[in-house]
Amino acid sequence: MSDLIDFFKTRSSTPIVGLIEPAPSAEELTEILTIASRVPDHGKLNPWRFIIYRGDARIQVGEMLAKRAAQRAAENNEEFSDSHREKELKRFSRAPLVIGVVCSPRDTHRIPEWEQFLSSGACAMQLCNAANALGYGSNWITNWYSDDEEGKRLLGVAPHEKVAGFVHIGTPKAAAPDRPRPELQSVVSEYTGPYQG
């Protein structure tokens, strides 16, 4: 049990540029997705799904995102440089595996959509934990294409769905760097009554 506590106390994200081959095997990926699906889910709705981007699909996605980013820049009278294009081309090919976590809300009056979105976020966190537990590095991001309707469409996300995140997974080149964490006294308080503003 102490090993598990140490695992959670020391978990961190690996920079995407630090994720290299190999990616999880087919069996490991099944295990990761099984663990990611085991999250709080009020009403047993399964209001989420996963999209796997790997192999040449990552290159194809980058090409489409580069075109869309150029369109967005033109629409806003912004410059779109060669370096910006290169950045967009590599969005999904920096890590050997990317898993999209998509909130696909169920139409129910009993459980609000925001609660279903929280369940989707829990899936993304479980993806990271499962990948890390198997010795892989992970990084959970969203980025501009998560909120851009055309960007979402290009990535296989339906208009009624929301992106909870894209989890990039691979073998870490080096130990993940840590970052400063908040002092507990700055984020924890005892209840003292209604908020007074």
Q: Is 42 known as a binding-site position?
A: yes
Residue pair 137/19 in contact (Cβ under 8 Å)? The answer is yes
Q: Is 11 known as a binding-site position?
A: yes
Q: Is 16 known as a binding-site position?
A: no
Which residues, 6+ apart, have CB-to-CB distance to 188 below 8 Å? none
Which residues, 6+ apart, have CB-to-CB distance to 152 below 8 Å? 145, 146, 158, 159, 161, 163
Q: Is 142 known as a binding-site position?
A: yes
In angstroms, the CA 38 to CA 166 distance is 18
Which residue type does 158 have?
Answer: A
Q: Is 24 helix (H, G, I), strand (E, B) or coil?
A: coil
Q: Is 52 known as a binding-site position?
A: no
Q: Is 168 known as a binding-site position?
A: no
Q: Is 110 known as a binding-site position?
A: no
Q: Is 38 known as a binding-site position?
A: yes
Phi, psi of 135 (to 5 degrees): 95, 5
If you ran DSSP here, which 8-state letter would residue 43 be given?
A: T
Token pair for 107: 């139409």
- Binding-site residues from annotation for FMN: 11-13, 38, 42, 140-142
- Binding-site residues from annotation: 11-13, 38, 42, 140-142
